[in-house]
Amino acid sequence: MPEIGGSDLKTLIDGSWIETERWLDVHNKYNGDVIGRVPICDESHVEKAVNSASAAAKRMAKLPAYERAEILEKASETLLNSSEDLAKTISAEAGKPLKFSRRETKRAHITLKFASEEAKRVTGETIAFDGEPRGVQRSGYWFRVPVGIVAAITPFNDPLNLVAHKIGPAIAAGNATVLKPSSLTPLSALNLARVLTDCGLPLGSLNVVTGAGNQIGKKLVSDPRVRLVTFTGGVEAARDIVNWAGIKRLAMELGSNCPAIVMNDAQLDSALECCVESSYSCQGQNCLHAQRFYIQDGIYAEFVHRMTSIVEKLILGDPLNEKTDVGPMITEREAARVEEWVNDALKKGAKLLVGGRRDGKMFSPTLLEDIPNDTKIANEEVFGPVSAVYKFHKLSEAIEASNRTDYGLQAGIFTKNVNTALRAVQDLDFGGVLVNDTSDFRVDFMPFGGLKLSGLGREGIRFAIEEMTEIKTVIYKTIGGEV
């Protein structure tokens, strides 16, 4: 792995590590130092990458499952053995505090581990054709085949594990992949590509195009040879992809404005711990970031007082410092946008309980109260270290308010009452509902995705493999007389 303070990294196209005429500087998000450079690809590089993947897809489809599994298993162990270097790279290029970067590297190891196991379970079923009279002389089965070429577009906030979530299932399913990582955090993705090639991934089956998405994204997703686009990012970029893609499969995780409901009977210490971490870990730059907290009136005053006290003590600073809780936002432009949203809420009547300060890319952990419904923070995904508290009396009020946005990724409820929990599970309009936890939890093999504007399809290794494969049906008709 490259050392922090870094070097030039080549990109991977058609089995070779190449340079281009132009280079993109990758900065330490805390101090602005250049920690590495990557090539800036253009449309010609995308064409070469898709050509390579097209040829490799035929070879990958015939690669035995045990060999795909062995490659992924070996890569998983390599990530584990290199986890500290990888974590430091993540912290430097993404601004994520080191304790959370370490967690991400371990998750990436687990993601590839499960992809290795699932590679051997891409199976089908027999079909009982005699379930209707016309099928009496027929028998058969269905099985899964790879789609061919997967275009994977990944964001900056989990620059290693979210790449593993795209590439791991694609390899397990027998596909070739063209990866477009975030131009803000490409080092982790290239490190993972190096690991996979060193662990025996067939040349040409993984290609990486680096550079700005607005310059090469359309060329990639519109190519008719690409049969699936898997994308994690924002709704506006997703709309462009939908317009460009043509007739092909789309799998999209598009973020949310996640709520959590805290009932009077909740275990308060546990709820507070979960709510604070899910609000401010990774600067709130997380699709599962808990942004809205609905607190029942019997505990509202105590909860808000205690949460405010905890948030005031969070340490804002260098992500490579072991004590840091909250690091810099990904760019100063994003920090300024969050500041604008907070100021707009305050002008419309919201109350600032703690935080609200910006210094360049650093935005202090912020908690707001009494936010009007016509503010962006109440309705959109803030993607920053900002959350809001609301008071409610009846559960129905909290559920109705939770469902008010156009998003629906995950939601949480804290209660000791099983009937209350089951009602919330039934009525919350989200792809996942967590009981006695916030939205900010997933294991990497569960079905993960949202309703409404939060996305299309599901991630989680087995479920991603289903997105990345097609069903082929085989039917035998018995003919002739006795044998």
Catalytic residues: 253, 287
Give the span between the Cα atoms of 144 and 55, in whole angstroms.
Answer: 20
Separation in Å, CA 131 to CA 137, 139, 439: 11, 11, 43
Q: Is the dihedral of CA 374, 380, 381, 383 positive or negative?
A: negative
The answer to whether 54 touches 176, Cβ cutoff 8 Å, is yes
Give the span between the Cα atoms of 95 and 324, in whole angstroms.
Answer: 11
The answer to whether 467 touches 457, Cβ cutoff 8 Å, is yes
- Which residue shows structure tokens 């998003």? 407
Burial class (CB in 10 A: 0-12, 13-18, 19+), 283: buried
DSSP codes, 174-201: T-EEEEE--TTSHHHHHHHHHHHHHTTP
- Strands lying side by side in the sheet with 386-392: 351-354, 366-369, 386-392, 290-296, 258-262, 410-414, 432-435
Residues in the chain: 483
Give the span between the Cα atoms of 185 and 25, in whole angstroms.
Answer: 10
Give the span between the Cα atoms of 316 and 473, in whole angstroms.
Answer: 56
Give the span between the Cα atoms of 358 and 356, in whole angstroms.
Answer: 7
Separation in Å, CA 388 to CA 16, 319, 367, 408: 49, 25, 6, 18
Structure tokens at 15: 């089995």
The answer to whether 272 touches 424, Cβ cutoff 8 Å, is no
DSSP type of residue 85: H
Among 376, 351, 355, residue whose Cα is nearest residue 366: 355
Backbone angles phi, psi at 422, to 5 degrees: -65, -35
Among 204, 251, 196, residue whose Cα is nearest residue 227: 251
Structure tokens at 411: 């939601």
Among 440, 430, 280, 307, residue whose Cα is nearest residue 364: 280
Structure tokens at 197: 């090639």
- C-alpha angle 222/255/160, rounded to 5°? 75
Among 175, 200, 428, 162, residue whose Cα is nearest residue 294: 428
The answer to whether 56 touches 76, Cβ cutoff 8 Å, is no
